[in-house]
Amino acid sequence: MIKRKLLKIIGMSITSAIFFPCSFIFAATKKILNQDLTSEQKNIMLNEGTERPFSSQLNKEKREGFYHCANCGAKLFASKSKFDSGTGWPSFSEALPGAFKTKVDYSFGMARTEYHCSNCGVHHGHVFNDGPKKDGKRFCNNGLCLIFKPEN
């Protein structure tokens, strides 16, 4: 049993070694387009940081409309896919088609699926398979990466 565990750890390390150079190449493709972003927003978007839970005003946002990328303005989520996950971050059961690209992130010793804006490449959050709908997706998004535009 211990040997199997060890093999698993070695396997993970090899996978990480293969994936890390890719993440460096990927990092070069992120572009800051909105010069008004704060240093906290830039840290999340470029370094895959995470805002404090329950810190975003968007947690309470319930109006009809769309959520856009705070960097490039791309339309990412419709308000109808938003739900209260109780995690403290704005959460969505689905993204608009083609809004995001994903990669596997091995930080904190676990494999998580990171997602980033298809248009400008900046980090937005992680997607999990424990969402409320049939396909089970839960997009856990940093509120600082989003701009909400209500529908008139």
In the beta sheet, which residues pair with residue 21?
A: none
| Closer residue to Zn ion in complex, CB, 82/124 | 124
Binding residues vs Zn ion (CB under 5 A): 69, 71-72, 74, 117, 119-120
> By C-alpha distance, which of 82, 70, 86 is closest to 119?
70
Contact of 48 with 39, CB cutoff 8 Å: no
Catalytic residue among 69, 120, 140, 145: 140
| Closer residue to Zn ion in complex, CB, 74/147 | 74
Order across the sheet with 65-69: list the strands: 75-78, 65-69, 146-150
Contact of 126 with 48, CB cutoff 8 Å: no
Task: Check residue 103 and report its DSSP letter.
Answer: E
**Nearest distance in Å: CB 118, Zn ion:** 8
**Nearest distance in Å: CB 117, Zn ion:** 3
**Nearest distance in Å: CB 67, Zn ion:** 11
**Nearest distance in Å: CB 46, Zn ion:** 12
| Closer residue to Zn ion in complex, CB, 16/40 | 40
Q: What is the dihedral of CA 90, 94, 99, 105, to 10 degrees?
A: 70
The answer to whether 140 is a known catalytic residue is yes
| Closer residue to Zn ion in complex, CB, 89/100 | 100
Positions annotated as catalytic residues are 140
